[in-house]
């Protein structure tokens, strides 16, 4: 999904939670997990996504696609900003192969951003988001174990860190 669709889902979710500040979102591959800039908060989640090799067109699903969000509220300006890094994977058949971007289903982007907004409520507004039980949609079959050699998050040493922070 393109950035505009992520932005639209974020805006809808923000409105559903009666947040009056304006929030924006951008993709940022320069994000360093566990090192948000001063004044920024972090949320890390794992989600289901699919990948496609740009070289051989092989496609594969993954249940362990790491997404790192850094967020910041500028209360005096009534606006917040979210930066997102989606970790990539590479094809295990092609040598050499390049890291490929994950493709998330719309339903999974909605779940990711719902969980993000719950973290925004806690970390930026000191509010209890209440109980929600959103779960990711998984389709397809995962053949074999997660392969660390092909996972960008594993190469950064953070892949197993999919519990919420």
Whole-model pTM: value is 0.88
- Say if 123 falls within a structural domain: yes
Tally of domains in the chain: 1
> What is the residue range of 114's domain?
3-31+40-155
- Say if 161 falls within a structural domain: no
Displacement of CA 157 from its chain's centroid (Å): 17
- Say if 116 falls within a structural domain: yes
Question: Using the 8-state DSSP alphabet, how is residue 36 labeled?
Answer: P
pLDDT computed for residue 122 by the predictor: 94
Looking at the chain, how many residues does it have?
165
pLDDT computed for residue 15 by the predictor: 95
Give the mean model confidence (pLDDT) for residues 45-66: 93
Beta-strand relationship, 89-90 and 99-100: antiparallel
- Say if 92 falls within a structural domain: yes
- Say if 74 falls within a structural domain: yes
- Say if 160 falls within a structural domain: no
Residue 48: pLDDT above 60?
A: yes
CB contact at 8 A, 48 and 135: no
pLDDT computed for residue 146 by the predictor: 77
- Say if 87 falls within a structural domain: yes
pLDDT computed for residue 64 by the predictor: 81
- Say if 162 falls within a structural domain: no
């Amino acid at each position: 999904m393109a950035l505009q669709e992520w932005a639209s889902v974020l805006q809808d979710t923000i409105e559903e939670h009666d947040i009056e500040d304006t929030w924006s979102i951008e993709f940022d591959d320069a994000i360093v997990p566990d090192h948000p800039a001063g004044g920024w908060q972090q949320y890390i989640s794992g989600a289901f996504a699919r990948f496609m090799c740009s070289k051989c067109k092989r496609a594969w699903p993954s249940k362990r696609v790491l997404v790192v969000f850094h967020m910041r509220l500028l209360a005096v300006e009534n606006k917040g900003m979210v930066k997102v890094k989606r970790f990539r994977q590479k094809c295990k058949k092609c040598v050499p192969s390049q890291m490929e971007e994950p493709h998330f289903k719309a339903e999974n982007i909605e779940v990711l951003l719902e969980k993000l907004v719950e973290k925004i409520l806690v970390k930026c507004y000191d509010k209890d988001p209440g109980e929600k039980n959103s779960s990711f949609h998984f389709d397809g079959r995962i053949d074999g174990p997660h392969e660390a050699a092909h996972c960008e998050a594993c190469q950064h040493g953070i892949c197993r860190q999919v519990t919420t922070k």
